[in-house]
Amino acid sequence: MAGQQSKAGGNSTKGRFTNRGRVLASHEREEFQAIMAQESRPLVADRLIEYLHIIQDKLGYLPLGLMQALGEELKQPMVAIYEVASFYHHFTILADGETPPPKTIVRVCESLSCALAGGKNLHKSLSKALDGQARVELAPCMGECDHAPAVMVGRNPIAPANADKVVEAFVKGAWHTPSAHWPSLADYRAEGGMACFEKLRSGSLTKETIIEELHKAGLRGLGGAGFPTGRKWDLVRKAPAPRLMAVNGDEGEPGTFKDRLYLETKPWQILEGILIASWVVEAKEVYIYIRDEYPLGLKILAEAMQELDALGMTSHTKLHLRRGAGAYICGEESAMIESIEGKRGLPRHRPPYVAEKGLFDRPTLVNNLETMLWVPFIVQHGGAEFAAKGMNGGAGWRSYSVSGRVAEPGVKLAPAGISLNQLIQDYCGGMAKGHELKAFLPGGASGGILPVREADRPLDFGKLEELGSFVGSHAVVVLSDKDDLKAVAENLMEFFSLESCGQCTPCRVGTRTVFKLLRQGDWNVEKLEALSQWMTDSSICGLGQAAANPIKSILRHFPEVLP
Amino acid sequence: MSKSSQGAKPKVTITFNGQDIAVEADQSLWTIAKQQGVLIPHLCHRDEPGYRADGNCRACMVEIKGERTLTASCIRKPSQGMVVTTDSPRVKISQQQLFTALLANQPARAEGPDGESSLWQWADKLGMAGTGKAYDLPAIVAEPDASEQDNTHPAIAVNWEACIECGLCVRACREVQGNNVIGWQGRGADARIVFDFASPMGLSTCVACGECVQVCPTGALLETSQSKARLSSDMNKISAPPTPQSPQSHQTPQSPQSSQSPVILDQRVVREVNSVCPYCGVGCQTKVGVNKDNRIVRVDGRDGPGNHNRLCVKGRFGYDYIYHPDRLTKPLIRREDAPPKDSHHLVKPHEWSRYFREASWEEALSKAAKGLSQIHKQHGPNALAGFGSAKGSNEEAYLFQKFIRQGFGTNNVDHCTRLCHASSVAALIEGLNSGAVSAPFTDALYSDCIIVIGARPAENHPVAATFIKNAVRQGSKLIVMDPRGQHQGLTPWATHVLQFSPGADVALLNAMLHVIISENLYNRDFIEQRVEGFNSLLLRIDEFTPEAMAPICGIDPAVIREVARLYATSKASIIFWGMGVSQHIHGTDNARCLIALSLITGQIGRRGTGLHPLRGQNNVQGASDAGLIPMFYPDYQRVKEPANQAKFEAAWGVSLSPTPGLTVVETLHAAAEGKVKAMYIMGENPAMSDPDQTHAREALCHLEHLVVQDIFLTETAGFADVILPSSAHAEKRGTFTNSNREVQMARPAVPLPGEARQDWELIQDLAQAFGLAWDYQHVSEVYTEMASLMPSLTNISWERLEREDAVTYPCLGPNQPGEAVIFATNFPTPSGKGLIVPAAYTPPGDSLSQDYPFVLTTGRLLEHWHTGSMTRRASHLDTLEPTAIAGLALADMQDLGIEAGDMIEVETLRGKIQLAARADADVPQGLVFIPFCFNEAAANFLTSSRLDPFGKIPEFKYSSAKITPLRP
């Protein structure tokens, strides 16, 4: 009996002759066991997404039978597996009787920077060129915005991409994570790396000193929310044990790619920061959540963590690496926590805040990857020295991910508080040839769109809010006179409507409704204003609350483009 | 509903719509607003027990001063000094936009599944409800096409187009009922609810509890009976009720619809009646919806103590059996020229006229009474016997046993409790002198460790099972002991699943006792103060080491130790059991072991502890309490105690027999032997329910005079001389006592069909014809008389039940709630102590052999209840489980060379039947499970009538059998 829906068969005419629902066949159970042979037992529910990856990586899709076998072993109902698998873009569910699709997925980035560089046309040509051989899909930002347009062939990122390069890579079978060259721990130690953590471990440095230095440095959460890091650590440290920690490497905000760069070039700094943080807040376990769009970073971290474990440097805690599965919303800290727990990435209601009740309902320190990077630097050089790096009232260095119409896009390490004009002139070699600055996104898709007249304002937390905008993850996308702002807004609204988790009505219905209106060319101000206010006022999380920012920006700063 | 202890609740002061008020800090702003008289719009929030606020629909947004965004009031708690506004301009814009956006994606009100849904009612209140798609927002999903409806389930229609993704159904299915079928697919605007792997509902693991239907705010999930899409379909024509009539119109076999012109029914509910469910012992309170033609068209759950609004598939969708064409509506008398009674031939309802003729009530009652009194006169009281019913009310049960005792002068009165929990009751009375549960099943919520042994509550007590699942969600440990798996029931919730060898209960339980004693895990204080017989247990327990018992019960000694420790050392442990424990020749011993477990550990008499035999029938507790038992007067007062005899003789004004009467199986034996010559059977079906049916049916044939009172021409009624058409549950008023000792009021929802009459009136008529001076004018008078003779009903008056609908006994005062948990300080035994009776291991009555290598076990299916006389005539239930099946392990089926659905013959020393094989993941190799509800393949042809020596219960759970594939 093949795995299938409950069966009315045999030589009787009516009735149900199997148990209710889909019947798991023994060959499906055996295939599942074979695929999972490497996994330690018992399987645990919070690793559900990891298990789904194992199947998806092996087959290129998730057959229902294997999902059912997984559920059986996890003692989870079918729907609990199904709803997680169907939530994440990187899983493909294969229904019973469906023909398996080609194994390899070619993802073409359609987010703003890549769209400006012709991503959608590239998708069209690749769909034709690879028809029947690969699944060619549009996908959101892959963190390669400075090399737009980006394409991911299986696990192999290609940027900048063109059709020929991609087809060549595909034909050559270059589908796998490329080999990485990254500094060794010895190199890092040679520059004085790990010294802070060792001092902390040996007791020559106290937890209080560290927090004090973080206060002095004015370090703020660099995932986008900008919450003072020292204060967060202090709060969590005082919460009841056991405490946990989660590191947010789900850098999904379109236009942001600093975390990817640091992951691939400075993994030891990040890990030292994590070791220090987990020591200071006495986190029993640390979960590092990296988006699935960063295969290289995942590989590097996995190896580096193994090395640290082997050296006994993680003896005060336990490090876990968790792999996202294609969901922008999981960059939202409580959605990330849900995802680490093996669930759909639905943001939680606040209060309670994750510092009180986070991962597995324990007090949890959640920090962004780059925030961790700066911790050893600050401890080594002193908070004051870091703070002094800022300008225009800002404190410290900031990593601006600059893309779009500039001559030299990339991650620009610049003083916090720098203005857009200065960033472009001093760090990006000016505007791209033939382009004149017209507008810019200071904080990725959600930070709103500002006109050129605001280009002298400091790009820092708290400085753009009065314009209905924010700097967020410092993802600066520069637009020029050649760009159609309405098309930009439409691109951003499409992104939000595809990435909304669907939990609350204003975001689920609002993002899609606004996108549909824009696509129809219906820029009715009254309608859009009411919808925007509703989404901003009544959505559960930052995604929905900020999703209307592109529209609000156009209505407020660019009325001239409206019909 | 939770373990949180009650105490003074902390208060805070908030400013609510401009007024300063002090409020409880742990209530939601939504609830506070409601208390202030402000009903905030809500769709995804359900203000009922068991429902967690989810805050996703964003209809209940309020403004809090100083906060950047609005907040969902259903999920937000107040804090000191909070300034809350429920009607600010921002709030209003939010509400308007929400309803504009939702309605833009709804079908037009008149075309949608439910124009009176909660969504439309709120739209009305907010002035947002237009008549069509007058909302100038684009719909976000494509126009609904055919696939936007899922009509694969007979009872529930899924109208995707009306879904607003509020997830109430998901919480209903998973968090409240714990059925884990409904969930999500996709995300964002493409998110939708699905069943299992996005299966069509009718092919999913859905058990049709209908909780989702009850809570859906839009009609996206709706009873098919209420679905507009179905109103014009054939479904309704098929189930259109015949006008009440005798079976006369069905002289030839025919499908019911061919006899009538198509009728389109008006399914709208015009009035609702508060009653209780007619099925199992859980005793769910119901709200019965009746249409303008006085026909039941919908049943919802009410917030009763045992169900908290929940129902199961039987209670919610199994109501239309009362309209089945087989319904008896005129008295019938066996024809003088009828073919002789033949135990091998069951009279089918459609062939009634070959055997019976219609009669007037006068003739039928007089013939019934005359037959009985003649035998009485000629052969004496003990040639008569009566079987009452656990389906009838307490009043009916009381009157029935009173008639048998006062009128016939014998104690030959029994009912189907003999076939279900007689052994449990025997052990409980012996040990604790009380046959009822010590704590309600809802106390699972207070337990840390729950043992479910020999019971499959997800099938047989589905709503009780929901509380066990809820308890596990809260962190309780669940141990399930059952030879069969419960894969779609409790297994996924269990911390330990012990699929022990059939019949090895005592071995397993004694090994647990051994562990608790040898590891000193017993409760010395409790034993010293409240237990007798511990020493006799100590003397007997040595041989029952886990190692010695493991080969018998098939459970690893380490596992036995683990569960024994868990049970003994948890703060509060409770034991639930069912027929798997009781229906053995060692059923009483099984129950003695369970009692011993609770007594030596002191796991009884406190919240979350105790002993709970799950009662099978809606009123098996009440019928037993009311004295429908051969050795007891009402309230288990022994007939052989002279004081009791004197008390009832005084009350009833006649002399009574001091000899305990015959039990059910003994009665049939006596009938076969010619000792019992006449019977009055009300609402029981021994021709289906009793073991060794060949013998049972021969016994019925052998009776000289049989009066059957029922609503259908049951298998038993086919052997009757007079058949009295009576009242269905939905047509009667009376009290019913559930498994929790909750006495509940049932009310008639619809009138009696044709000439059918109330059961209690018929008993009275027969009693009067028998010469008794009965003169009850109303059923309440019966209750009052009964209560005056039953100390357990003290403080529970008819009026109080009318007012409160449910009161638990015992009850300490007319204004006090009843005692849910009993035995807190002592047991009602003469010494006040509980008695341990050690049990020896007895192997099952049948033994396996080369010729009979399978163990046959019988039981129920979720959709069918008892002998199927009601549920197989309920259209949805019979559609869901229409065919006689035998559950087998896949491996055994492969060995037999058969596939799912193939016909097989199952044979025991008693008889053989033919039915289809079901590949059943719950059945271990070597076992075959056959439900006893299918008269076309009656399982009780196969079972043995060997009895437990104490409870006189037959061994339905163990027969040796052989299986032969039938080639087509």
pLDDT band at A23 (very low <50, low <70, confident <90, very high): very high
Q: Are B297 and B267 in contact (CB under 8 A)?
A: yes
Closest CA to B225 of B265, B168, B172: B265
Q: Name every residue whose Cβ is closer than 8 Å to that of residue A468 and which is 6 or more positions away in sequence.
A: A448, A549, A552, A553, A556
pLDDT band at A3 (very low <50, low <70, confident <90, very high): low
Q: State whether A87 and B205 contact (CB < 8 Å).
A: no
How far apart (Å, rounded) are the C-alpha atoms in residues A105 and A61? 10
Q: State whether B69 and A498 contact (CB < 8 Å).
A: no
Q: Which chain A residues are within 8 Å of B99, Cβ to Cβ?
A: none
Q: How many CB atoms lie within 10 A of CB A318?
A: 13
Q: Which strand (E) or helix (H) includes residue A56? A: helix A48-59
Q: State whether A19 and B488 contact (CB < 8 Å).
A: yes
Beta pairing, strands B332-334 & B356-358: antiparallel
Q: Name every residue whose Cβ is closer than 8 Å to that of residue A146 and which is 6 or more positions away in sequence.
A: A113, A257, A401, A402, A403, A409, A410, A411
How far apart (Å, rounded) are the C-alpha atoms in residues A12 and B964? 16
DSSP B408: I
How far apart (Å, rounded) are the C-alpha atoms in residues B90 and B98? 12
Q: What is the pLDDT of residue B968?
A: 67
Q: What is the pLDDT of residue A300?
A: 97
Q: Are B664 and B623 in contact (CB under 8 A)?
A: no
**Token couple for B718:** 């086919």
**Token couple for B616:** 């099978």
Q: Name every residue whose Cβ is closer than 8 Å to that of residue A172 and which is 6 or more positions away in sequence.
A: none
Q: What is the pLDDT of residue B142?
A: 56
**CA of B69: which chain A residue's CA is closest?**
A537
Q: Which chain A residues are within 8 Å of B143, Cβ to Cβ?
A: none
**Token couple for B125:** 């209140």
Q: What is the pLDDT of residue B82?
A: 98
Q: State whether B140 and A7 contact (CB < 8 Å).
A: no
Reading phi first (left if > 0) and then psi (alpha if -120 to 50, else beta), residue A545 is in alpha
Give per-residue pLDDT as tens, A45-72. 999 999 999 999 999 999 999 999 999 9
Q: What is the pLDDT of residue B228?
A: 63
**Token couple for A14:** 């009516």
Q: State whether A20 and B206 contact (CB < 8 Å).
A: yes
Q: What is the pLDDT of residue B252?
A: 36
For residue A495, CA distances in Å to A264, A333, A489, A547, B188 come to 26, 19, 10, 9, 11
Q: How many pairs of residues across A and B have Cβ atoms under 8 Å apart? A: 233
A195 shares contact with chain B (CB less than 8 Å)? no
Closest CA to A51 of A322, A421, A357: A322
How far apart (Å, rounded) are the C-alpha atoms in residues A454 and A468? 12
* Segment 81-110 of chain B within 8 Å of chain A by CB: 90, 93-94, 96-98, 101-102, 104-105
Q: How far apart are the first and last CA of chain A?
A: 63
**Token couple for B26:** 């742990």
Beta-sheet strands, E only, within B9-124? 11-16, 19-24, 61-64, 71-72, 83-85
pTM metric for this prediction: 0.94
B129: number of CA atoms within 13 Å, CB side? Answer: 16
The SS3 of residue B510 is helix
Q: Name every residue whose Cβ is closer than 8 Å to that of residue A481 and which is 6 or more positions away in sequence.
A: A435, A436, A438
Q: State whether B918 and A18 contact (CB < 8 Å).
A: yes
Closest CA to B809 of B746, B747, B744: B744
How far apart (Å, rounded) are the C-alpha atoms in residues B613 and B577? 5
How far apart (Å, rounded) are the C-alpha atoms in residues B456 and B580? 9
For residue B445, CA distances in Å to A255, B441, B442, B574, B851 come to 51, 8, 6, 10, 47
Closest CA to B881 of A8, A77, A3, A25: A8
Q: Name every residue whose Cβ is closer than 8 Å to that of residue B804 and which is 6 or more positions away in sequence.
A: none
Q: What is the pLDDT of residue B415?
A: 94
**Token couple for B484:** 């069969």
Beta pairing, strands B610-613 & B573-577: parallel
Residue B71: exposed, middle, or buried by beta-carbon count in 10 A (0-12, 13-18, 19+)? Answer: buried
Q: How far apart are the first and last CA of chain B?
A: 54
B253 shares contact with chain A (CB less than 8 Å)? no
Interface test mutation site (partner B, options A29, A76, A83, max chain B beta carbons within 10 A): A83
A225 shares contact with chain B (CB less than 8 Å)? no
Q: State whether A77 and B97 contact (CB < 8 Å).
A: no
Answer yes or no: is pLDDT of A283 > 50. yes
Q: Are B960 and B908 in contact (CB under 8 A)?
A: yes
What is the 3-state secondary structure of A327-362?
A: CHHHHCHHHHHHHHCCCCCCCCCCCCCCCCCCHHHC
A520 shares contact with chain B (CB less than 8 Å)? yes
The SS3 of residue A406 is strand
Closest CA to B927 of B507, B480, B554: B554
Q: Tokens 């010895």, residue? A: A186
For residue B731, CA distances in Å to B679, B747, B844 come to 25, 8, 43
- How high is the mean pLDDT in each 10-residue block of chain B (968 residues)? 58 97 97 98 96 97 97 97 97 94 89 91 88 64 63 93 96 98 96 95 97 97 77 39 40 37 68 97 97 94 97 97 95 96 92 96 97 96 97 98 97 91 93 94 98 97 98 98 96 97 96 98 98 96 97 98 98 97 94 98 98 94 95 95 97 96 95 97 91 91 97 95 98 97 98 97 96 96 98 97 97 95 96 96 92 96 92 96 96 96 96 96 97 91 90 91 91
Q: Name every residue whose Cβ is closer than 8 Å to that of residue A461 and which is 6 or more positions away in sequence.
A: A220, A226, A470, A471
How far apart (Å, rounded) are the C-alpha atoms in residues B76 and B86? 13
**CA of B94: which chain A residue's CA is closest?**
A534
Q: Name every residue whose Cβ is closer than 8 Å to that of residue B82 and which is 6 or more positions away in sequence.
A: B12, B14, B15, B64, B65
* Segment 453-492 of chain B within 8 Å of chain A by CB: 487-488, 492
Q: State whether B61 and A538 contact (CB < 8 Å).
A: yes
For residue B605, CA distances in Å to A480, B246, B807 come to 79, 52, 19
A523 shares contact with chain B (CB less than 8 Å)? no
Q: Which chain A residues are within 8 Å of B896, Cβ to Cβ?
A: none
**CA of B862: which chain A residue's CA is closest?**
A20
Q: State whether A509 and B194 contact (CB < 8 Å).
A: no
Q: Distance from A67 to chain B by nearest Cα, in Å?
A: 9
Reading phi first (left if > 0) and then psi (alpha if -120 to 50, else beta), residue A268 is in alpha
Which residue of B137, B165, B180 is in closest CB contact with A80? B180
Q: What is the pLDDT of residue B2?
A: 43
DSSP B227: -
Q: State whether A517 and B104 contact (CB < 8 Å).
A: no
Closest CA to A447 of A552, A533, A336: A552
Q: Looking at residues A436-457, what average pLDDT do you find?
A: 98
Q: Which chain A residues are within 8 Å of B207, Cβ to Cβ?
A: 20
Give per-residue pLDDT as tens, A191-217. 999 999 999 999 999 999 999 999 999
How far apart (Å, rounded) are the C-alpha atoms in residues B312 and B314? 5
DSSP A421: H
Q: What is the pLDDT of residue B630?
A: 96
Q: What is the pLDDT of residue B128?
A: 86
B897 shares contact with chain A (CB less than 8 Å)? no
| pLDDT above 70 coverage of chain A, percent | 98
Q: Are B702 and B677 in contact (CB under 8 A)?
A: no
Beta pairing, strands A156-158 & A151-153: antiparallel
Q: Are B835 and B591 in contact (CB under 8 A)?
A: no
Answer yes or no: is pLDDT of A88 > 80. yes
How far apart (Å, rounded) are the C-alpha atoms in residues B576 and B560? 18
* Segment 486-545 of chain B within 8 Å of chain A by CB: 487-488, 492
Which residue of A11, A14, A327 is in closest CB contact with B968? A11
Q: What is the pLDDT of residue B284?
A: 98
For residue B736, CA distances in Å to B298, B465, B725, B757 come to 21, 21, 21, 19
